[in-house]
Structure 1
C-alpha cells in the first residue's frame, strides 16, 4: 500500500538526517514555523524544514487518513542546496524517491 511506502520513506529520510548530523534538538521559533515562504527558506535551513515541517505534516496526514500531496518537488531544492556536497547524495536520493512516490498517481 502506498501509505506504507511513504511511511517507510519518511523513516529513511529521518534516519539519513540523523546520520548526516543534520537533525536538531532545537525547535525553530513559532514565527519560523509559521513561515509561508516555500520550504520556509527565509527563516530556516532545508534540513530544519524537513524535520520540523515536512515530516510532522506527512505523519499527521497519514495518522488522520488524509490525502497525501500529489504535486511534490522537494528534490530540486535539495539538489540546489547540497549541490557541492557528495555526502548529501544519499539524502537527496531519498527525497527524490519520496517526490516520485507522492507524484505517482
Structure 2
C-alpha cells in the first residue's frame, strides 16, 4: 500500500468517526438543507447553515468524494477550532467531535 493510499484510508476512517460522533451526540440530520443554503459562498456557510449542517452536508460530502475519487487532499485543514467555538455555547457535548476534527486536521495538514 502506498503512502497516498494510506492517507486516503486514514481520512476515510476519520470521516466515518466524525459521522458516528455526530450521530452519538444527536446533531446528525436526516433532512438536508435547501439548495440555496448549500450555495452560500461564506466560509462554513456561516450565513445559511449551522456548523453541524455544514460539517454533514458540505465537508463530509466533499471529503468523501475526494477520498473515493482519489483527488488531491486540501493542503491544510483547521476545522477543530470552529467546532470548539460552536459547541462552547451549545447544550450538546462537542468535545469528542472536536477531537475527531483535530485528528482529521492533523492528517490533512500533515502534522
- Quick one: structure 1 residues 86 and 25, their matched pair in 2 at CA, closer, same or farther if it must change by over 3 Å? closer
TM-score, normalisation: structure 1:
0.94
Taking only aligned residues, the RMSD between alpha carbons, in angstroms, comes to 1.4
- The residue aligned with 1:87 is 93
Aligned-pair CA distance for 1:86: 7.5
| Residue equivalent to 2:110 | 104
Q: Which residue, 8, 16, 38 being the options, matches 2:21?
A: 16
Confirm whether residue 48 of structure 1 aligns to residue 64 of structure 2: no
Number of residues of Structure 1 aligned to a counterpart in Structure 2: 105
The answer for unaligned runs of 5 or more in structure 2 is 1-5
CA distance in structure 1 between the aligned counterparts of 2:9 and 2:19, rounded to whole angstroms: 15
Per-residue CA deviation, residues 23-62 of structure 1 (Å, 9 max, x unaligned), is: 0011101111111111001111111011100001001111
Cα distance in 2 between the residues matched to 1:74 and 1:56: 15
Instruction: Give the TM-score, by structure 2 length.
Output: 0.89
1:6 counterpart (11, 15, 18)? 11
Alignment of 1:68-87 (within 5 A): 68-84=73-89, 87=93
